[in-house]
Structure 1
Amino acid sequence: MTITPTVRPDEPPVTALEPTATPPGLWKTPVLFGVFAVLIALLPLLKTRAGDTTFRLAAETDFVKLPELKAPSDAITWTTVVLMLLGAGYAAWCARSGRRTPLWLVALFGVAAMTGFLGWAAADETISVIFLLGGALALAVPLVFGALGGVLGERAGVVNIAIDGQLLFGAFGAALIGSVTGSPWVALLAAMFAGALVALVLGVFAITYYVDQVIVGVVLNVLVIGITSFMFSQVLAPNAAALNSPPRFERIPIPLLGEIPIVGPILFRQTILVYLMYVAVAVISWALYRTRWGLRVRAVGEHPMAADTVGIKVNLTRYRTVLLAGLIAGAGGATYTLVSVSQFNRELTGGAGYIALAAVIFGKWDPLRATLAALLFGFAQNLQNVLSVIGSPVPSQFMLMLPYVVTIFAVAGLVGRSRPPEADGIPYIKA
């Protein structure tokens, strides 16, 4: 007996399976690659820059002296444009094959794009690679600390918009206590305490009283700006010698490691805060994914009810994590007054906490990725300084907005699909 399948008149005929279309998100990277390649190509077409560009790869105090790299500006630009187009073509082939663009290709494309831009902008000038990258690292330190604090808070389910307030209050505490005690270490502890104090207020309103976390964070930022500005004008400024002259952390070169060409001067001739940043990134990345504590933190951020069911105290875990995040962000604020400026001024952070928050999103709530994103934003800030020094033809207004443009491009265009922790921003009310 033969069984004939019944087909309803309104059903389409059964056909062979067709290959699924390439997900549209995979094409975002090759399209952006192509756009950036065109933009770099337009630079010499719109304004010709005759002359040679020199890249200096060694500092004056280096034991090993690397030779300078010198080439015609136009040759550098057009060579990098060709490489960028090849990278865009390979990224398009990956997207057509249903694969994501490799991370190494994104990194190489970024290096090529920046080399082409600097080759055009620095015609007849010398770019110190050590100064460019070392300065970028120094500027990224508070962003990294702030991003680490943001990752921890949001992994536990608390949106930390108050990163900027924690950085600013940490800088204020370090300046005041450092000036009184004369010890940078005591000043660092004071900065961490100040950041934790802001985090405690955030926790009380967000965790205990269920206030909207975004609103609380914004209000705290404004409150800290008001308090520190008032204290600066009424207390610090009239007594600058006694209350606004904190000691500074000096650079500590690490023997042998500091003599490695290029890498040594950038990574291993820094202040103690940079070395503490290395430790913080490594420890938090390990603890968040390899320890029982990290499992509990991620559990209360993803499924607080399930975590409560197995005996995890959700709100207590959130409080502890938010306070730890405040301690870390406060340490980042100490960078401003103990390393960079050596005194406190109004709104000293300049909104760096919001860039750190963007690094959290760009890094997809992962400590290591958020650190890399913060380094990218620090590089954008230092590039503005380098272009000003060499007298670049790029308008000064564009150089001032460069770090924020990079932030917008990173969050809106390069991050792709990013999912925060499931319970991020949602207060836990125990039934």
Structure 2
Amino acid sequence: MDKLTFFTDYLSASLRLSVPLAFAALGGLFSERSGVLNIALEGMLLSGAFASAAGAVLTGNVWGGMLLAITVGGIVGLLHAYLCVTLRVDQLVSGLAINLTAAGLTSFWSRILFNSGQAQQLPGIQAIGIPGLQNIPIVGSLLFNQDPLIYLLFLLVPFITYLLFRTSLGLSLRAVGEYPRAADTAGVSVTLVRYTAVIISGCMAGLGGAYLALVHVKFFAEGMSAGKGFIALAALIFGRWHPVSTAFACLLFGATEALQLRIQAFNLNIPYQFLVMLPYVIALLALIGLAGKSTPPAALGIPYIPESREQ
């Protein structure tokens, strides 16, 4: 394999590995910008992966699986919103509980539905090349010969950026996350905004799980999210809760994972366990480097109590 081909394949792999992270992180962006801490991204990703596999198997249609993944992700988001916004459960505890529940339920139902606990050869989503552009060296295969979900992600990043910083809806979302009492006084429903944001977060994370199962590996295995939800959360912090920076942070972590896979293929005398740790080590180093520099939304993790005068 020549160097150009190797480099092109590496960039393509980096992009593919960053896609589920990006969907989850951008979903988490909505939730956390509204003031709801979303540790549950891992459970949402895993639930979406299982739902997409189950939907694809039961309907025989990959888009049926995709729709079910978005629906289930939204339901998990609704549960998280109910616990955090209505019941005012500790948001960290709620997220961890959802992660553990999702791991248990997906393992249980996958063993019932798929017998071995692993779906074999799911119908996948094929790449769609853009004529005239897909043949451009390096850039063509990287940007113009991809599956529809990657094209969707390319559109979502600028759209979410515009929505957050150029529209009244984005202003309301950021106001609720920064100072909910002022937003409430201005007539913005803090409860409605937070519910909507967390449900959107679940839908997008579910879509990331669907990409993982239907596009990336084309099967479902127990625990296949493998900490990607936590890396997405790290990317969100590393990106300072901004859509563009968060997307680039996801790309960095995807490139790191692609690198460790290629190092393993070289059969170097390095224990593979150390290589598998590499993306998580990079995530930790990134967060350590941002210690004290990255400022989260002021009301993040703080339940809003309308009767209270204190925030």
TM-score (norm 1): 0.69
- Which residue number corresponds to residue 89 of structure 2? 211
Structure 2: gaps of 5 or more residues: none
- Which residue number corresponds to residue 259 of structure 2? 383
When the two chains are superposed, the root-mean-square deviation of aligned CA atoms in Å is 1.7
SS of residue matched to 2:158: helix
Matched, 1:197 2:75: yes
- The 1:379–1:415 alpha-carbon spacing in structure 2 relative to 1, beyond 3 Å, is farther
- The 1:149–1:239 alpha-carbon spacing in structure 2 relative to 1, beyond 3 Å, is closer
Structure number with bigger Rg:
1
Matched, 1:334 2:210: yes
- The 1:389–1:222 alpha-carbon spacing in structure 2 relative to 1, beyond 3 Å, is same
Given that residues 179 and 244 in structure 1 are in contact (C-alpha distance below 8 angstroms), is that contact kept between their aligned partners in structure 2? no
Work out the CA distance in 2 between the residues paired with 1:377 and 1:160.
Answer: 19
Higher deviation after alignment, 163-172 or 256-265: 256-265
- Which residue number corresponds to residue 258 of structure 1? 134
* Counterpart pick for 2:275 among 369, 387, 399: 399
Given that residues 175 and 245 in structure 1 are in contact (C-alpha distance below 8 angstroms), is that contact kept between their aligned partners in structure 2? no
Work out the CA distance in 1 between the residues paired with 2:61 and 2:243.
Answer: 30
SS of residue matched to 2:122: coil
Higher deviation after alignment, 285-294 or 406-415: 406-415
1:211-261 Cα offsets, whole Å, 9 max, x none, are: 000110011000000000111122322697xx7653100111112221222
- Which residue number corresponds to residue 98 of structure 2? 220
SS of residue matched to 1:259: coil
Given that residues 362 and 415 in structure 1 are in contact (C-alpha distance below 8 angstroms), is that contact kept between their aligned partners in structure 2? no
* Counterpart pick for 1:158 among 23, 28, 36: 36
Q: How does 1:33-182 map to 2 (within 5 A)?
A: 56-58=3-5, 128-182=6-60
* Counterpart pick for 1:346 among 219, 222, 233: 222
SS of residue matched to 1:205: helix
Matched, 1:247 2:123: yes
Work out the CA distance in 1 between the residues paired with 2:45 and 2:235.
Answer: 15
TM-score (norm 2): 0.95
- The 1:415–1:256 alpha-carbon spacing in structure 2 relative to 1, beyond 3 Å, is farther
Work out the CA distance in 2 between the residues paired with 1:382 and 1:146.
Answer: 19
Structure 1: gaps of 5 or more residues: 1-53, 59-127
1:382-411 Cα offsets, whole Å, 9 max, x none, are: 101111122334442321111111111111
Matched, 1:295 2:242: no
- The 1:239–1:304 alpha-carbon spacing in structure 2 relative to 1, beyond 3 Å, is closer
SS of residue matched to 1:297: helix
Given that residues 176 and 246 in structure 1 are in contact (C-alpha distance below 8 angstroms), is that contact kept between their aligned partners in structure 2? no
- Which residue number corresponds to residue 372 of structure 1? 248
1:180 Cα deviation after fit? 1.3
Work out the CA distance in 2 between the residues paired with 1:364 and 1:392.
Answer: 36
- The 1:378–1:238 alpha-carbon spacing in structure 2 relative to 1, beyond 3 Å, is closer
1:414 Cα deviation after fit? 5.0
Given that residues 43 and 103 in structure 2 are in contact (C-alpha distance below 8 angstroms), is that contact kept between their aligned partners in structure 1? yes
Work out the CA distance in 1 between the residues paired with 2:116 and 2:221.
Answer: 13
Q: Structure 1 counterpart of 2:226, which letter?
A: G
Q: Structure 2 counterpart of 1:362, which letter?
A: F
1:269 Cα deviation after fit? 1.5
SS of residue matched to 2:134: helix
Work out the CA distance in 2 between the residues paired with 1:408 and 1:322.
Answer: 25
- Which residue number corresponds to residue 162 of structure 2? 286
Work out the CA distance in 2 between the residues paired with 1:157 and 1:256.
Answer: 45
Work out the CA distance in 1 between the residues paired with 2:122 and 2:270.
Answer: 36
* Number of equivalenced pairs: 307
Work out the CA distance in 1 between the residues paired with 2:13 and 2:121.
Answer: 23
Higher relative contact order (CA 8 A, sep 6+): 2
Work out the CA distance in 2 between the residues paired with 1:416 and 1:268.
Answer: 39
Q: Structure 2 counterpart of 1:133, which letter?
A: L
Q: Structure 2 counterpart of 1:328, which letter?
A: M
- Which residue number corresponds to residue 360 of structure 1? 236
Q: How does 1:2-17 map to 2 (within 5 A)?
A: none
- Which residue number corresponds to residue 270 of structure 1? 146
Higher deviation after alignment, 229-238 or 350-359: 229-238
Structure 1 stretches of 4+ with a deviation exceeding 4 A read none
